[in-house]
Structure 1
């Protein structure tokens, strides 16, 4: 049995090792593959060691878990021995257990976890050599333990799978923010990555062109009428309807009019060139809608509301813009939905999705309750506000810049200081 003079240094060493192993676990599971590759290319032998451990997760986790368990168990035994020698029984073991529980939870678990999460690359550089050294020493034990685990799993009919890191969406968002702060991501790249994460949560009705802004063709129109309307609106595809826009029967592409134009048959009914329309529900997830458009080999779909009426139109371009931002051609006039005019001040289109606006401001927004900024303001006002009216809600000031008798058009959004 070690004397008290030896027990304290050994106890401190074990706690330090436990801290380092905990930090290494979070660091290796959080650091990106691309960052590890850069370490391997620039970090010499240590970089190669880190890349090896990162590529052998089963070995890595087995060594770390075994080391943490051994360090904590041995430290608790030594602490109990110190407690008995100083306080006697029964209080010595009780006090030792209480103190060790607090120390392990705070110093050996929580603190290194947060430290490693704040800088995964730094954590693996600090601990990579230590983990590799213990992986060599403990490899025989790890081999026996891993074999036993696989045998037990096989008895229960479970096949051991490759160990992969489990990362939640919130962790991914935090990692994106950390990468931007460290200069590894530009603002546009961060916005694109956040768009990918939010894409599955968006609904078609948040992305579509609403019915009031649709340009449609009557079923009785001629092909020349369609061509004139398409050239005037600069749209290459137009929905065709029977009596009302609630009865859209197809989509006409101006490209399909070229054979009739060449033959001088533009006075023929436009419905002859119409193709069947794909119909989507307004509450369909955006990612599912994109997949349906791909499978149907369509670039445009009619969006239906819960009553079967036409709610709007959605295109592949509309959906992709939620990820990559506005896609402009040579005819588009760039009018961003959100324009920064001053620090914490933006001019916004009232139709902008609250999910998109959330990428620009820090204040919480009711993204689950309202689709657009205009819809939220209509709910706050209880009516259609006039230009010049302002509202204040949740640390934000809204000034209506433009409005009509039927809707809000432009809004100035200002983030207020916390003292306001």
Structure 2
């Protein structure tokens, strides 16, 4: 340690101190001004690109047109201007500081000390006062910082516009030639959405719907056959009109004797010219061909087919060719934007929230919808659901029989209590959530 100190003393003794001249004081003044400009450009870069939507609304609400809004209306031009100006100033600071240092200190006898002084000391001053401190200040008071220096930044944008436009065009050409397509998985996109602000609940729900859109199958969103309003091919015209009025649906599936033998779809709008016809009117001539899709079809592919074929309803069939239910364009869109209700829809209470941990559900509710309502992961039941798509199906999959009223079935952190059944199916269940359990 002593030897190192003596080594430094020997080096320092080789430094010759000169009397400061007028050029030294002028250079020092210019250096201070350049440091201020460097701080201004660095701070402005952070301030402008840290403005929040609330800040923009405040600027737009002012009667006088804001120069800040004008500057940031072309963000690429603004950023290029600040970077060009900041780099020019920083280069000038390095050159000028070297001149000032050499005008009062002669390092010819101690070149190593001169090198350390000009790199370490000057770099430290430049980083501290030209980068770090102004960026901290600007990030804490971004709107005030941007507004205060907006006129000067606007003047710089005009001055450097020829250079910055050339740089922007050059960077675009280079990036197009060298850029490689970036692929992002749905899992990564889902993780990114999880990090979004809780204040954007509706937007977040839509984004989550888009992420899961490509992995959702028709069987997960279809209306099961027991809930479908359909009519026999031989139904009288008067009875047909009664069903149309009672149901309020615009499209009615038509079957022959059994729902597994679908003959077609009748569009209610096709009946309008014939609404006054007698009971012997052959309404069957208005039936349009059905469109069949398998349960395993993904809804993003089905949406494309609906768009191409200009249809709104498809018949869902199982692997044996039997009819499982129907799926509509509205069902698909609801997976993204949530429930869509029109003026003809009657409110159907599929669940009742008792408190944060207790619900009463109609057993026909799809598991996808159940998970959204209670706020759990869509894949929580994947290891135990088998082929089940509804709450009732999940319970049957785990019990192997139709349970009696008040029977209790536990799945994961959920306790299902059977509230109503008939001879053929579970109708209603009570759900209790135990957040600390994960069986």
TM-score of the two chains, using structure 2 as the length reference? 0.60
Q: 2:314 maps to which residue?
A: 301
Within the candidate set 196, 220, 234, 1:206 is matched to: 220
1:29-178 map, 5 Å = 31=53, 36=56, 38-45=57-64, 48-66=66-84, 123-124=142-143, 126-130=145-149, 133-137=152-156, 139-151=158-170, 177-178=198-199
Classify 1:76/1:216 alpha carbon distance in 2 versus 1 (closer, same or farther; 3 Å).
Answer: farther
Q: Which has the larger radius of gyration?
A: 2
Give RMSD over aligned pairs.
5.7
The superposition leaves residues 239-278 of structure 1 with CA deviations (integer Å, 9 ceiling, x where unpaired) of 123465344231123454566663324374x532311234
Classify 1:25/1:279 alpha carbon distance in 2 versus 1 (closer, same or farther; 3 Å).
Answer: farther
**Aligned 8 A contact 2:293 2:314 in 1:** yes
Gaps of at least 5 residues in structure 2 are 1-23, 102-109, 178-188
Classify 1:416/1:247 alpha carbon distance in 2 versus 1 (closer, same or farther; 3 Å).
Answer: same
C-alpha distance in 2 between matches for 1:375 and 1:9: 76
Within the candidate set 358, 363, 379, 1:366 is matched to: 379
Gaps of at least 5 residues in structure 1 are 117-121, 159-167, 181-189
**Aligned 8 A contact 2:38 2:86 in 1:** no
C-alpha distance in 1 between matches for 2:145 and 2:374: 36
The superposition leaves residues 111-138 of structure 1 with CA deviations (integer Å, 9 ceiling, x where unpaired) of 999x79xxxxx84565354466334325
Within the candidate set 371, 391, 398, 2:410 is matched to: 391
C-alpha distance in 2 between matches for 1:345 and 1:65: 58
Q: Aligned to 1:191, what secondary structure does the other structure show?
A: helix
Within the candidate set 18, 24, 30, 2:48 is matched to: 24
Q: 1:410 maps to which residue?
A: 429
Classify 1:150/1:10 alpha carbon distance in 2 versus 1 (closer, same or farther; 3 Å).
Answer: closer
TM-score of the two chains, using structure 1 as the length reference? 0.62
Within the candidate set 215, 226, 229, 1:215 is matched to: 229
C-alpha distance in 2 between matches for 1:327 and 1:347: 22
Classify 1:376/1:220 alpha carbon distance in 2 versus 1 (closer, same or farther; 3 Å).
Answer: closer
Within the candidate set 305, 315, 332, 2:346 is matched to: 332
**Aligned 8 A contact 1:242 1:249 in 2:** yes
Tell me, yes or no, if structure 1 residue 240 matches structure 2 residue 259.
no
CA apart distance, 1:209: 0.7
